[in-house]
A and B are shown apart, each in its own frame.
Chain A
C-alpha cells in the first residue's frame, strides 16, 4: 500500500517538515524534525531505488490525474540513483551541520535555517523525480530560492553579496530554462517529458525547437556551473556556512547536471542533441577548458574553500566531457563521477569545516603542523583528497579510469591526455595543502605546545561515514559502475 505512494512521499515529507520547523522554532527540535524527515526520505528513496531496480520504471500519477492532464512522476534507474544520492548526502550533512551551525548562526535564526534546508531538499528531490518539464522549473526555483537564503546565513558579510550574485545568475538561468520549456510547449503542445520525447522528432524542423534547445542549453549550463558560466560558484561556496557548502557541492550542481542529461538524452535524444545540433562542439571545449584551467587556478588559491570551489568546477568539466561522448561507456563514466564526486567533495568540505570550527579560518598558509593538533581531520582531508586526485583504490580512480577508457574508445586521445594533465594539477593543489599541514614547522620562534583539539564527534562521524563509503566504492568499483551503467542504459534507451 504505502510502497505505491513512495514517489509522492519523497517530496511530501521534507515539504511538511519545513513549515513544522517554522512553527516549532526551538533550535534542537527543529534540527531533530529535519533530521527525522530527512532520514525517512532516505529510506523512501532507498526503497524506491530497490523497487525500480527489480521491477523497472515507475510512473506515478500525482493526485490520480493521468499523464497528459496531470503531473506525472517518472522514476527510472537514473533518477532513482539521484534521489538516493541527494537525500543521503543531505542527511549526512544535516547531522554534521548541527555543531557548525550552532557556532556560526544566531540561535534565534536556527529554525529558519533548517526550514530553508528542508525546502531546498524538497526542490532538489522534486527536480530529480518529476516527469513534467514545467514542474522542473518550479522545483528548480524552490531549491534555488532556499539556497540563496542558506548562503546568506554565512558569517562574513560577503556571504550576502555572494548570495545576491548567485540570485541574479540563477534567476537568469532559470528564466532561460522557462523560455526553453515555453518554446517546446509551443512546438509540441506537450509538457510531459514522455510526450515531449515522442513529439519532438516530428517537430524537429521547426525553428521553435531549435530556439528551445539553445535556451535550455545556456540555462542549464549556468545552473550547473559549466566553465565559462561558473562565476557565481566560487563566492557562494566560499562564504556560505560550511555545512551549506558541503550540501551544495554534493547536490545542487549534480541535480542540474541530471536535468541536462534528462533534456539532452531522454527528451531531445542523443541523435538530435549531439548529431544534428553538434552540441559537443559547444560543450566539449568548455568542459576541457574547464577542467584544465580551473584545476590550474585552484593551485593558486590560498583559501581552502575557494580552492575546492574551483576544483568543483573542474570536476563538472570531467562530467560534461563524459556526457559529450554520448555513448554507453561515456555516460556511465559521467554518472559514476556524479556519484563519486558528490561523496568526495562533501567529505572534503566537511574536513575543511572541521578546520574552520577549531582554527577559525581556512587560509592554507597558516595551517602549519595541523596534523599534531587535529590528526583525524587531517587524515580525512588526505583520504578524500587522494580520492579527488584519483589514486588507485579510490573512487576518483574508478571514475577517471572509466572516463579515459571511454574517451579512448571514441579515439579522443587529447581529452584523455588532458584529463591526466588536470589530475597532475590536482596533485599539486591537494599536495601543497597536505605538505603544509603535515610537515611545515611553525614559523613562530618558540612554537607553543600544541595539544590535540579535535572537532566534535558529531562532525567527525558523518565525515568518516562518507569517507568509508567512498573507500568502499573505490575498492569495489563495480558497485557504482553497475548502477551507473543501468542509469546510462535507461537514458540512452529513451522512454518506454
Chain B
C-alpha cells in the first residue's frame, strides 16, 4: 500500500533519472535539451505532489469544504516553469548559433573540431 500510495513519487524518480541519463549519455545537443526538460519536469511533479492534501479541494472558499490542498507549491512551480521555458529558449538560441558556426550539433564532432583548432 505504502509503495503504491506513493506512486507519484516513483514517477518523479523515474523521470528524473531518465532525464539526467539523457543529459549525460546523448551527444546531440537538442537531445540534451530534451533530457534537461524531462529532468526539470520531474521537479515540477515533485512540487505539485507536495501540495496535494488527501481529499482536499482547490483552495477556494466554498460552503461545505473544509480541507484544502496547499496552493503555495503550485505558485512556486509556476515560477519554476517560466524559468525552465527561459532556459530552454536560451539553450535553443545557443544551439542555433553553434550550428551556424560549427555546422553540426553533435557534441563529439564539436569536440573533435575544437581539438583540431587547439593544435593549430
* A residues lining the B interface (CB < 8 Å): 134, 137-138, 141, 145, 148-149, 152, 157-158, 160-161, 163-164, 167-168, 171-172, 175, 178-179, 182, 185-186, 191
Contacts and interface: CB of A to CB of B under 8 A. Distances in A.
Given A145-B90, A178-B43, A161 B114 contact: yes
A148 B94 CA distance: 9
A171 B41 CA distance: 13
B72 to A, nearest CB: 8
B90 A185 contact: no
B11 interface: no
Contacts of A134: 76, 79
Contacts of B29: 164
B34 interface: no
Nearest to A170: B87
Interface of B: 20, 23, 29, 32, 36, 39-40, 43, 46-47, 50, 72-73, 76, 79-80, 83, 86-87, 90-91, 94-95, 97-98, 101-102, 110, 114, 117
A253 to B, nearest CB: 20
A152 B87 contact: no
A149 B36 CA distance: 18
Contacts of B91: 164, 167
Task: Identify which of B29, B91, B117 gathers the most chain A CB atoms within 10 Å of its CB.
Answer: B91
Contacts of B98: 157, 160-161, 164
B90 A148 contact: yes
Given A134-B76, A160-B97, A161-B98, A171 B46 contact: no
Given A137-B80, A191-B72, 6 more contacts: A141-B87, A145-B87, A164-B91, A178-B43, A178-B80, A186-B50
B94 A157 contact: no
Contacts of B94: 148, 152, 160, 163-164, 167
A149 B90 contact: yes
A141 B102 CA distance: 28
B23 A172 contact: yes
21 contacts: A134-B79, A137-B80, A141-B83, A145-B86, A145-B90, A148-B94, A149-B90, A152-B97, A157-B101, A157-B102, A160-B94, A160-B98, A160-B101, A161-B102, A167-B94, A168-B32, A172-B23, A178-B80, A179-B46, A182-B50, A186-B50
Given A138-B79, A161-B98, A164-B98, A182 B47 contact: yes
Contacts of B97: 152, 160
B31 to A, nearest CB: 12
A161 B40 contact: no
Closest 6 CB pairs of A and B: A157-B101, A141-B83, A160-B98, A164-B94, A186-B50, A160-B97
Does more than half of chain B's interface fall in helix, strand or loop, or is it mixed? helix
Contact of A167 (B87, B102, B114): B87
A182 B90 contact: no
Contacts of A149: 90
Contacts of B39: 172, 175
A186 B87 CA distance: 26
A164 B95 contact: yes
Contacts of B40: 171, 175
Contacts of B102: 157, 161
A137 B40 CA distance: 14
Contacts of A182: 43, 46-47, 50, 73
Nearest to A176: B43
Nearest to A148: B90
B83 A138 contact: yes
A178 B81 CA distance: 12
B23 A158 contact: no
Contacts of A168: 23, 32, 36
Contact of B87 (A171, A185, A191): A171
Contacts of A185: 50, 73
A160 B90 CA distance: 11
A164 B79 CA distance: 23
A186 B72 CA distance: 11
A182 B36 CA distance: 18
A191 B40 CA distance: 20
Which of A138, A168, A179, A191 has the largest count of B CB atoms less than 10 A from its CB?
Answer: A168
A161 B115 CA distance: 13
A134 B43 CA distance: 14
Nearest to A163: B94
Contacts of A167: 87, 90-91, 94
Contacts of A172: 20, 23, 36, 39
- Most chain B Cβ neighbours within 10 Å, of A134, A161, A163, A186: A161
A285 B39 CA distance: 30
Contacts of A157: 98, 101-102
B114 A158 contact: yes
B96 to A, nearest CB: 10
Nearest to B86: A145
